[in-house]
Structure 1
């Protein structure tokens, strides 16, 4: 099971996200759910870095399937570009959830 936690503040501004665990849809190397989530997650981080320029702290643990991204902007909202990319990430993971269900993916929102 993969747990995706999308973090927002009380105003609904994105503060970061965490993708944790392997989906378990198929054997390692054949797991299309895990591959799709990994591509979405890594592409979102790379896109924010390359197209939006917002500062982030990113960490990963490949063995345990954990990627964490936290925006450094503590005083307000991230850029419009980064917000759009985060909305796209949210849309993508929700699409995977709708296709493959709660057996392999859990999405939650956390207020920070």
Structure 2
């Protein structure tokens, strides 16, 4: 299972870097989204998901689920959604004003 998660994180990171280096704005936004997904899965995997355990320490204190990684991922999801919406609006505004969607602003045929 750990190998599968590592492969998924690596694939999302590789796709995110590849798309972030494109010259059009939409693939760049998609690449940044893939990178945030990879970071979220990495944070969640580092929290060691415990099934059937309470998120607080009980009297016996044997098993409990750590709520910190889950809270971090939830916060990261909200922030990445807001940033993605902002970047998309910014890209649309740039396209409307400049007439092309290239990151460097130079239209290439």
Bigger radius of gyration: 2
Q: Which has the higher helix share?
A: 2
TM-score by length of 2: 0.37
TM-score by length of 1: 0.37
